Chains A and B, each alone.
Chain A
Amino acid sequence: MNKGSVLIILSVCVILAGCSPGIKKGSTETVPEWHDNVYEEVLPNGLKVIIVKDPAAPLAVFQIWYNAGSINENVGKTGASHVLEHMMFKGTQKHGPNTFSKTIKRAGGIDNAGTSKDFVYYFQKLAPDRLHISIELEADRMQNLIMDNADFLSERDVVMEERRMRYEDDPQNLVYEEVVATAFKNQPYRWPVIGWMEDLESLTRDDLAAYYRERYVPNNAFIIVAGALDVKETMAKIREEFGVIPRGHEVGNPDIREPVQRGEKRIFIKKEAELPYVLSAYKAPNILDEDSYALDVLAGVLSGGKSARIYSSLIDEKRIALSAGAGYSNFNKYPFIFYLYGTPMPDKKIEDVELALYEEVEEIKDSPPAEREVQKAKNQVEAEFIMNQDSIFYHAMVLGQFEMIGGWRLKDVYLEGIRNVTPGDVQRVAKKYLIEDRRTVGILVPQKKPETAQHNQK
């Protein structure tokens, strides 16, 4: 399901490929209940707790998700969510500076965090009998972060360095960033999670402190715990540590809608690079829309493996592209994009690659794909979904993503939706969404400068 591009930024040095985000429903309080192996309870302060019991898992996972991704930032303060995520590791009044990860490591665990357009999440993986350490530490840093100004300034430099490495020195990421910023002119998805360099330069410690106080509250978060656990014991510890934190103001999400696009937008990005690149993005619905299942299968028909249409046509048969494919970013709170991309073979033109990508799309609009192609794409989605859940961490991650978008129970609906897609559905959504007037095209124009090497044996 994650065919998407890079949206989540982890604070240490990992980027997860493409999953994204969702809508947090208002904190409707529910009676504690079981659903197969999943237990759910909402504390009086609005914090929802979801526990997945998996007796076979060798370790336990603790995740806390906040509705505090880059869409919640203000214009001019882009990147704040992600810098705050970094600051969350800097220590609390109770535990002192830089102790969080050390404590987890000493307990034989690992921890990290990630920020996306829609959310931020923090996690630890530990032996089940040490889970209480996570619960104590996460409850503590939900309320008692120090946020020293010198620490902030140094961490801001770190994030600028991260931006240089991930975007300014990575031509294809730069194109992605520019295409998204051009495709959306109003919706906050338009700015990158890492923030614009100019905004990072003017961001202050007080900006972050205000954002932290407003959004890091129990009624704007939920917890997912998974593993071989005693549910009673775990809940008792969570109530003890998190139950005392007062409810905050209801913050929700900005209601900022994207105006209808009236015609193709096209941009060129000049940057020192070896290879040209084209990225063509169409506005497309998210997973809450019935059409998303057929779009997911469409992405598979076009680009799911070497037997899919784009690979066999552009790379195998016509030999015009070095790499090419399609992707659908469906795990978002709001409608986002379906995209096509490619890099030409030497001596081939980027224009030819772009046209060949569109030809594949037009072919599907003209006649529905074969039943076996559709079945193949569905099998791929399903196998990936099931195999990913071999890992208890991904199991929790999948629940978290669905919970952010519209409730974790959607997980069961999802595979059912994929199974029901017909070739006619695939053709219909291609016609409905992959239209010229709704797309934004970015083209990387490589600039070459001479490189000089100096080798000095000593």
Chain B
Amino acid sequence: MEFARDMHSVCIGIWVKVGARNETPGKSGISHFLEHMFFKGTLSRSAQDIAIEIDSIGGEINAVTSTEYTLFYVKVLEEFMEQALDLLTDLILHSTFPDADIEKEKNIVYEEIKMVEDNPSDYVHELFSKSIWGEEGLGQSVLGNETTIRSFTRQDLLQHINNHYGTEKLIVACSGNFSEERLVDHLNRTIGTIKRDGQGNNLETPRFSGALNIVTKDLSESHICLGLKGLSYKSDNKYVMHLLNTILGAGISSRLFQNIREKRGLVYSVYSYHMAYFDAGLWAVYAGTDRKHVSEVINLTVDEIRNLPKSVSAEELGRAKAQLKGNLLLALESTSNKMTNIAKQEIYYGKYFSPDEIIQMVEAVTLDNLRALADELLREDRFALTVYGPVDKEKLRMSCELMQKQAG
């Protein structure tokens, strides 16, 4: 819970620690499919009732499924908090999942898959993830595929709830202007009554594969994803990682932006990101460029990463710290961001770090920490690369193989 007295809205989220990576390959996409089905009606409300109720108070109710969690949330004006909570908890506790709606939803999810394919700068990340983490576990797409989706039954959904919606895996987070007493009281009467154990997430630690994956498609741009094995959420080095990533490719003053976009004008969009999971991580760069410049952009990116350990400077570290601290505070400007922040800390660390504590951890990072981490991440020097676009496959493959060989 986090109070923000000067805000007009309140945001409540119910988080479930289950996502695409917990699915067996035959049931790929079921977490996301189930998330959709929670909006199809409860014992006392039809799908239409749910929609009318939330729309009438001008609120927002929605859900998100990711690789490691599923989130259901409402955001409303403070005066409607209890009404919204009533609705949200009813969905989680009393959804009925009618067979007819299951069949209908299959078409919708199937088309959702196609929609992603119409957005190449998103789709390339899916191809990338699959080629790194494989067809199972972490590499599985959140949406699933046509075959698995067509196979889902009501029994599968109930089984998934039984296995994964146990009390151990549920977290409620709330942020905004609200009464704690009324919130807790309501939750005790609703979500608090769940008595379900569920099964643990026995996950195999995923293996990072530095694979080369080229998919040709007649687009205007070529989309490139390139990355190294990163750190998990558990790592003590997470703020060193954040800072290193900020210097490499987060924002306008980063190295990649300055060198590839500002100096050479080769791309519109280039950025790096670090994706942490419970037990694995990926440090990657995305760039979109004209077909003629694919090899050049790849080589420039690889050079920037390889140069980091010996060239990273105190001035950059100072700027990155200021940027990261600023972003931490700026990101907490809305009740939905605040709610997400406290919930993710609970999910991944099991405890709360205040903005001040986080700032202290960021401040403590030294230049030697940065160099050591960059060296460590580059030790294997095995880059994973996915290119999606109008490229000459053979030619590109040769130049990329060259890149990997130089490394060895």
Which residues of A are at the interface with B, using a C-beta cutoff of 8 A?
12-13, 56-59, 89, 98, 101-102, 105-110, 125-126, 153-159, 161-162, 164-165, 168-172, 272-275, 304-308, 311-312, 316, 319, 322, 343, 345-346, 372, 375-376, 379-384, 386-387, 389-393, 449, 451-458
Contact = CB atoms under 8 A, between A and B. Distances in A.
B319 interface: yes
B46 to A, nearest CB: 10
B33 to A, nearest CB: 16
Interface in B311-337: 318-319, 322-323, 325-327, 329-330, 332-335
B58 A383 contact: yes
B264 interface: yes
A88 B330 CA distance: 24
Contact of B288 (A105, A161, A391): A161
B220 interface: yes
Q: Which of B220, B221, B322 has the most CB of A within 10 A?
A: B220
Contact of A384 (B58, B119, B209, B329): B58
Contacts of A452: 215-216
Contacts of A58: 329, 332-333
In order of increasing CB-CB distance, the 8 nearest A-B pairs are A383-B58, A154-B265, A108-B326, A157-B265, A307-B51, A56-B6, A162-B268, A306-B51
Contacts of B271: 13
Nearest to B121: A165
A272 to B, nearest CB: 6
Contact of B51 (A159, A162, A305): A305
A101 B250 CA distance: 12
Contacts of A272: 217-219
B167 interface: no
Interface in B200-218: 209-218
Interface stretch (B103-111, B147-155, B370-378): B103-111
Interface string B255-266: 000100111111
Contacts of B335: 390
A274 B118 contact: yes
Contacts of B43: none
Contacts of A458: 210-212, 401, 404
A106 B322 contact: yes
Contact of B322 (A105, A161, A345, A372): A105
Interface of B: 6-9, 39, 47-48, 50-52, 54-59, 75-77, 104, 107-108, 110-111, 114-115, 117-121, 131, 209-221, 251-253, 258, 261-269, 271, 288-290, 318-319, 322-323, 325-327, 329-330, 332-335, 393, 397, 401, 404
Given A13-B268, A102-B319, A170-B118, 13 more contacts: A109-B326, A154-B263, A158-B261, A162-B268, A172-B118, A274-B115, A275-B114, A304-B55, A312-B51, A383-B59, A383-B77, A390-B334, A458-B212
Contacts of A346: 107, 110-111
Contacts of B118: 170-172, 273-275
Contacts of A59: 329-330, 333
A165 B107 contact: no
Nearest to B323: A105
A157 B117 CA distance: 26
A390 B8 contact: yes
A380 B221 contact: no
Contacts of A159: 268
A48 to B, nearest CB: 26
B330 A382 contact: no
Contacts of B115: 274-275
Q: Which of B269, B271, B326, B397 has the most CB of A within 10 A?
A: B326
Nearest to B264: A154
Given A13-B271, A456-B213, A392 B333 contact: yes
Nearest to A391: B333
Given A101-B251, A343-B111, A161 B221 contact: yes
Nearest to B401: A458
Contacts of B119: 170
Nearest to A277: B118
Contacts of B268: 13, 158-159, 161-162, 164-165
A148 B81 CA distance: 55
A345 B107 CA distance: 7
Given A101-B253, A452-B216, A457-B211, A107 B114 contact: no
